A and B are shown apart, each in its own frame.
Chain A
Amino acid sequence: MKLRELAHGRTGDKGDTLNVSVICFDARVYPHLLRHLTVEHVKSHLQGVVRGEVRRYELPAIGALNFVLEHALGGGVTRSLALDAHGKSLSAALLDIDIEPPV
C-alpha cells in the first residue's frame, strides 16, 4: 500500500536542507512506521532527488516521524534553478512510497 493511506505530511525548507514530516492518521500505526519507514527505504525511494544525507527523528508523543533531507534544493531556495525551488512538492513524493500494510 501507499504511505499516503496511513500518514500525511508537509515539506519545509531551510537553506539547501528539506524536512518532510510523516504523521500517522491513527497513532496506533506509529510503531509499524517506525519499523518499516526506515532511512534506507526513504533514501532509495528519493534517489536522484536528494543527494545528501537523510536523517530521521522520532516524535512518539504525536505519532510522527520527521525526515531531514540534505542537499535537496540545488543550492537552496534563493538560488535554485528548480521550478519548485522550495522543494515543497517533495512531501507528495515521499507519501507515494510503498509500505507494508499493518496487520
Chain B
Amino acid sequence: MSTATPSRTIRIGTGAGYSGDRIEPAVQLVEQGALDYLVFECLAERTIALAQQARRRDASLGYDPLLEARWRAVLPLAAKRGVRIVTNMGAANPLAAARKTLELARALGIDTLRIAAVTGDDVLDVVQAGDYRFEESGEPVAAFKNRIVAANAYLGAQPIVDALQAGADVVLTGRVADPALFLAPLVHAFGWSMDDWDRLGQGTVVGHLLECAGQITGGYFADPGIKDVPNLARLGFPIGEVGEDGSVVITKVPHAGGCVTEATCKEQLLYEIHDPKRYLQPDVVADFSRVTIKQRGADTVAVTGGRGTPRPGTLKTSVAYVDGFIGEGQISYGGSGALARARLALDIVRDRLALRGIAVRELRCDLIGVDSLYGSARAANQPEPYEVRVRVAARCDSIEEAVQIGNEVETLYTNGPAGGGGATKSVREVIAVQSVLLPREAITPSIEIFGK
C-alpha cells in the first residue's frame, strides 16, 4: 500500500456506523466495493467514557472491544487490495489500539502495514485546570471535579490528513468529529485547502451521509406498506464515489440488501441536524440548506450543493462524569383488566418507596404499551391494550438505594396485583455527558506511526 495519487474520483465505504455494528457488510465492501478507503465510525458520545474506565483498569485497553474481530475479518484483504482504513476505534487509547493492530497484522501475516495513532483529543488535564462552564446547564465544571471520568475534544480532519500523507494504511483516532473521518481522505486525495469552506462543507455532507453506515442504505427506514426495504438481514453498507469538487454518488454493492434512494439520502442528510445552514464542525460551519439529491439509477443517488463558512474558533469537548445510579424493574400484566392491575402495581411501588424512605432523586413510572414513549397525554383515548408492561426507573445516589427499585417491582409477584409475570430488574452506573467549548490553542493533536 502507498500514498494515494490524486484521481478523478475516490470511493469511500463505511464499515461500521456504531461500535456494535454488523461486521459482514464491511467484509463485503472490501471484497466487492472497489474501495480506496474504508471508514469505521464506532464512537458514540458516551462510549469513550466507558473506554476510559476500561483503560484505568488495564492500561493496554481502552480501545474498541470489537477492534480485533473487525481486523481479523477485513485487514488481510484490505491490505492486499490497498484499501486504506480510517477509524475512531482508538477510543480512549489510540496508541494501544495501534500497537494491538500491529500485533494482529503480524499474526495475520501482513508485515507491510503502516499504522498511525492520532492523539491529543484527551484534554482531561486542560479541562480540570481551567475555569469552564458546561454549555448545557451553565454549571461550573469545577463543581464536578471528583466525578469527571473523561474529557475529549472533537478533533478535525487535519491530524488524519497528516497520517495519510505520512503513508498510513490504517489510521486510529480517539474523539474526532464523525464527518472528519471521511473528510480527511478527501482533503488528502484531492489536496483541498483547509480554508476552502465550500469544499469542506460539501465534504462534510459526504461524511455526514456515510457516517451512520446502513442508515443510508435502507437501515432505520422501513415502514411496511409505506416504505418497504428489501433484504434487511443482508443490508449492504454505503459507498460514496466522490469527485474532486466533493460531489458524491451514494451507492452500495450490487445484490447487497437494502436500497439507496432519494428518500433514504434525505432522511440521513437531516439526521441529528438542527439549523441546516449552520452545522458546526471543527473544520467548517457546513451549510446543508441548498443540497440537492437526485436518483441517477438503481441504488445510485447523486448529492451535491453543500457549502460552508469559516470554522468556529472553539472546539466542542465532551466531559463525562459519574452521575449516580439508575435502578429499574419491570413486570407484565395481561388479559382483561390488565391496565387497571398495572396501574395498581405502580401505586404500590410508589407507596413502598415512600414507606421505606428510599431516597430517589428522580422517579419515572411507565406503562409500556400505553404511555412509555409519548406520555399520558398522547395515550388518552387510545383503545385499552391486551397486555401491559410496568416499568419503574429511578435515579439514586447510591447503588444500594438503586437496587431497591427493582426489588420493589419484583416483590409484586407475591405482594401485588393478580397475574403479574416476567419480572426483571437491573442497576447501572450513570455516565452523564455535558460539553464545554475549548479554544483551539488549548488542543494539540499529534500522530505517531507504528510498523513499516
Contact = CB atoms under 8 A, between A and B. Distances in A.
Nearest to B375: A48
Contacts of B366: 83
Contacts of B372: 82-84
B136 A15 contact: yes
Q: For chain A, give the interface size range.
A: 35 or more
A66 B273 contact: yes
B271 A21 contact: yes
A99 to B, nearest CB: 15
Contacts of A23: 263, 266-267, 270
A10 B271 contact: yes
B46 A19 contact: no
Contacts of B291: 61-62
Interface string B208-237: 000000000000110100110000000000
A10 B376 CA distance: 23
B364 interface: yes
A68 B452 CA distance: 48
A81 B395 CA distance: 7
A19 B274 contact: yes
B289 A93 contact: no
B323 interface: yes
Given A59-B289, A78-B46, A21 B266 contact: yes
Residue of B227, B267, B268, B362 most packed against chain A (CB within 10 A): B267
Nearest to B430: A79
Contacts of B378: 46, 48-49, 93
Contacts of A17: 274
B199 to A, nearest CB: 19
26 contacts: A8-B223, A8-B263, A8-B267, A10-B271, A12-B273, A13-B272, A15-B136, A21-B270, A21-B271, A23-B267, A49-B374, A49-B377, A55-B274, A57-B277, A59-B289, A61-B292, A62-B291, A66-B270, A66-B274, A76-B136, A78-B320, A81-B395, A84-B372, A89-B374, A90-B373, A93-B378
Interface of A: 4-5, 8-10, 12-17, 19, 21, 23, 25, 46-49, 55, 57, 59, 61-62, 64, 66, 68, 74-79, 81-84, 89-90, 93
Given A12-B270, A61-B292, A89-B373, 19 more contacts: A5-B226, A8-B226, A10-B270, A12-B273, A14-B274, A21-B273, A25-B263, A47-B377, A57-B276, A59-B289, A64-B270, A78-B320, A78-B430, A82-B372, A83-B368, A83-B372, A84-B372, A84-B373, A90-B373
